[in-house]
Structure 1
Amino acid sequence: MEEGKKVQKKWYALYTKPRWEKKVTTVLERKGVEVWCPLQKIQKQWSDRKKIVEEPLFKSYVFVHILEGEKTNVLMTDGILNFVYYLGKPAIIRDEEVEVIQKYLSEKDASISIQSLGSLDENTRIKVNHGVFMDTTGTVVKGGKKKVYVKLESLEQVMIVEFPIDYLTPL
């Protein structure tokens, strides 16, 4: 290793078996791995009752904060299919992206829906000038007056966050 270069933990996205996000999180925590499975509260309706449940924000994804050398140990966890790849390498998620999602999910009544990046057309680039997402840039997709698609490009996912149009400034 070169002098002056620090070994730093990085955030990576893992692809899990369907509906295994919480199980994988528990197993990785037992292994001593720093893992994060973003959850949001959703109201479910059954024929006889309504219930608030916590569901993973990103279906079949969990995030780990690990060193390069810990990848093999993490991959050997039951329920993990692989790292999420971007440009031929395991996708590194920027700390800022993780912090923005964590901050938003900590707000009362936070609601985020997720769509695959491949299903959207890119249009107007914008900058958010108010709230938790202040100074974040994103792409508006026409169709809703209040919806802003903030790209998490390293995940090839898009976060759809709803807030007033006057929070936005075109770039």
Structure 2
Amino acid sequence: MNRKLLIVEDDVDFAAALARAMKKRGFEVALAHDASAARTVAKAFAPSHAVVDLKLSGESGLKVVAMLAARTPAPAIVVLTGYASIATAVEAVRLGARHYLAKPANADEVLAALLRDEPDAALEVSAEPLSVARLEWEHIQKVLNAHDGNISATARALKMHRRTLQRKLEKNPPKPG
């Protein structure tokens, strides 16, 4: 089977390391570092699989997911992000991603997600409710997603000062529990 992987990641070093690891695992690999390059590379390369970073410079990785999912045949898509939230995970899957992984994820975790056809029902669900900080983070991510990543529009919708929202977004997401 011809396995062609498109990696869409704006962190050049991480993208190169992941590309090397996936080549060792039998993939032909192409790289794109932004949404525009991803569109161009996808046309010429016709990937069977794709790893897409959620937070690309300039444009949301969700737009890349939608573009790739619309291709025939659609590649198996895994969204990779350092800003994991339930809202973005749901949206990524709704748009056509097969799975969603939070960074840091190693090459074996990425490979397992790319090759898994079905969601894993054996994954454990936490019995602990989400913390207030995590609920706030999830809500901000949902509103941000609804406004296509526009910070000013999101701040207005949340009735929050823009700089306050930016400070909250710069922090790492709180632990789920």
Larger radius of gyration between Structure 1 and Structure 2? 1
Range class of TM-score, shorter chain: under 0.3
Select the structure that is richer in strand: 1
Name whichever structure is richer in helix by fraction: 2
Higher relative contact order (CA 8 A, sep 6+): 1
**What TM-score, normalized to structure 2?**
0.24
